[in-house]
Amino acid sequence: MDLNVGRLAKWLRVLGYDALFPADAEDNELLRIALREGRIIVTRDAGLAVRHLATSGRLKVLLIRDDNPKDQLRQVVGSLDLDATRPFSRCICCNEPLDSLSRESVRERVPDYVYKTQQEYSGCAPCSRIFWRGTHWANMQRDLALVRSEKP
């Protein structure tokens, strides 16, 4: 498995895309998953990129050139012509869609400062994480704006 694209998977989730990253899967399993679920394989592994030819063109593979996750994201956004129509709508950890949470429902689950300063929250039911628009959100928005403005 290509761990060099693990951070890329998180950034694709930030953009709102379903980005599966089965870290322990072997190449054959990745090909089976991609074929079964109609997924695009994004990899730095040139050997895996070539092996997709055995699928008779039923599978799309994008070979990533760079090590830097933001450069990788820029390549994926440009190559696949992605837009961010639903940013911050998926859990960056487990890839599940996020639900809107009421402020009151998170009162005991977030730090006091966060509760006092934030009004909107999202949550992931499967992994129980809670997200809000703090400084990390603003930084990620800035990074995404740079990626979008530099689409090839």
List, for residues 46-99, the tens digit of each pLDDT value: 888 887 776 667 888 899 999 988 889 999 998 998 887 788 999 999 999 999
- In angstroms, rounded to a whole number, what is the distance separating the alpha carbons of residues 1 and 19? 14
What residue segments make up the domains of the chain, in order of their start? 3-149
List, for residues 29-54, the tens digit of each pLDDT value: 988 999 999 999 999 988 888 877 76
- Strand 99-101 relative to strand 130-132: parallel, antiparallel, unpaired? unpaired
Q: Which range has the top average pLDDT, 9-23, 44-58, 74-88, 130-144?
A: 9-23
Pure H helices in 15-152: 27-37, 46-51, 69-80, 112-117, 135-149
pTM of the model: 0.85
